[in-house]
Chain A
Amino acid sequence: MTPLRVYLVDDEPLAVDRLRRLLAGSDVDIAGSTSDPETALAFLSRETVDALFLDIQMPGMNGFELLARLPEQPLVIFTTAYDQYALRAFEVNSIDFLLKPIDPEHLQRALRKLQSLRG
């Protein structure tokens, strides 16, 4: 089975670092990561990924706005510090909703869900 190709977006560089580290031991190919939503938009407009790890509150463009501007909707795993957006997250193509600091077990569960969805 080919590894899952994922992309990480969070405006806090430390949050991106931690997610990268948590994903390091899993069968995941990190296609890229950024703390700038504009960079994410440019990347995702030309490349396809299996899933997107996406923060919600970001400057300039929040997670939902970023998704709205993408030509193709990837599968999304939201990462956020507080669950006030949980309901709205289920209106888009989201697989899971990870609360920061992310629990490694919860992350593995989200990855398994992602694998099974991909078939």
Chain B
Amino acid sequence: MTVRFYLRVLAVATAAALTGALLRATMQDIVDPNRILGDFARIFLYSCCVSMPAASTLHYLGHRSAWTRGLSYVALTVVVLLGATVVGCLMADLILVAVGILPANQYWPEFSFAFRFGVLLTLTFGLSMSFYEVVRGRLEAADHALRAKQIAEERAQKLLAEARLSSLESRIHPHFLFNTLNSVSSLIPTDPARAEAMIGQLASLLRFSLNANATSLVPLNLELKIVRDYLEIEKTRFGGRLQYRIEIPPELDNLPVPPLSVQSLVENSVKHVIAGQPQGGEIVVTAKVDQGRVQVQVQDTGAGFELGTIPEGHGLDQLSGRLALLFGPNAQLETCRTTTHAAVRILFPKTA
């Protein structure tokens, strides 16, 4: 930042020297380009000698607290610029004498001329640049504050997403829960054994959901136990309308998967294909590992759907949120169709 600032100062010093040389040429009717070039070099030396101390001082003061605003800042800038003009002209003359361009006895007359000429240039260019730097500084500060706010907001969003994904309601839909309790009530007098089994399945589903952490993985066989419990409950509710198969090779039993991921897919199928169609349908769960990537697929006999049409907060929207939390861009959710089935797949890297 500082290097850039001094480069800007150098650019302004060059512009000031050029202006000075042209001004002098105009006023004194100088047409010889060599003479103008010589003047430019000389004024450039002055403008460097003036601008560097002026810029350093203002830069130093500019970073100090709030009194650098308003009129007091303008007054301070003028004082610094005038001071720097005196110091700079003395210094530049000294250099000119030292290298032998200026005879020693011409030191004071040259200074007096250079100072009067220099004040004009220094105040014009110095004040303009100071003003520019102040505005620039404020814009940068505002931009910085905005970015800090954005980062804080993104963090808050992420925390909120995690909280939302870890709430029980996002895992057990109230409709499902109360309908299941209603089924149990209905079964108690007529089929107490089935009612008891259903309570057990509901309990294991609730326990798993309460324990599931949005940021860790569970073995596939545990996830599938929950999927079976869930499907058995739904089968009791929907009777013959629900058929299902789970076809997973035993060597994938310990494969780490996001908790409730397969369950979310199966639940979506139940909701749309079984609960949504009077004739019901079939759900098939399969999984495989291909080139280090896990692919879990849930097929059903429904019409299928496009992922883009899923509303925010929907089970699959939450699943894709959980996948993003766990794997970033390395996990995908995708849909496809065969002649008889519609499928939803989750793909993510194998972690163990």
Give the interface of A toward B (CB within 8 A): 11-15, 17-18, 21, 36-38, 57, 59-60, 81-82, 99-102
Contact = CB atoms under 8 A, between A and B. Distances in A.
Interface residues of B, number: 23
A13 B186 CA distance: 10
Contacts of A102: 182
Contacts of A60: 277-278
A103 to B, nearest CB: 10
B178 interface: yes
Contacts of A12: 179, 182-183, 237-238
Interface centre among B177, B178, B179 (most CB of A within 10 A): B179
Contacts of B33: none
B189 A101 contact: no
| 8 A-B pairs closest in CB distance | A18-B186, A81-B178, A100-B182, A14-B186, A101-B182, A101-B185, A82-B174, A81-B179
B309 interface: no
Given A59-B275, A59-B277, A18 B185 contact: yes
A100 B277 CA distance: 22
B182 A18 contact: yes
B178 A14 contact: no
Interface of B: 174-179, 181-187, 189-190, 236-239, 275-278
A17 B186 contact: yes
Q: Identify whether the interface residues of B are mostly helix, strand, loop, or mixed.
A: helix
A81 B186 contact: no
A102 B181 CA distance: 10
28 contacts: A11-B275, A12-B179, A12-B182, A12-B238, A14-B183, A14-B186, A14-B187, A15-B183, A17-B186, A18-B182, A18-B185, A21-B186, A36-B278, A57-B175, A57-B275, A59-B276, A59-B278, A60-B277, A81-B176, A81-B178, A81-B182, A82-B174, A82-B175, A99-B178, A100-B182, A101-B181, A101-B182, A102-B182
B175 A81 contact: yes
A55 B35 CA distance: 100
A19 to B, nearest CB: 9
B178 A100 contact: yes
Contacts of B186: 14-15, 17-18, 21
Nearest to B239: A13
Given A57-B275, A59-B275, A59-B276, 6 more contacts: A13-B239, A15-B183, A37-B278, A57-B175, A81-B176, A101-B182
Contacts of A38: 278
A17 B184 CA distance: 11
B77 to A, nearest CB: 66
A13 B238 CA distance: 8
Nearest to B188: A18
A84 to B, nearest CB: 8
Contacts of A101: 178, 181-182, 184-185
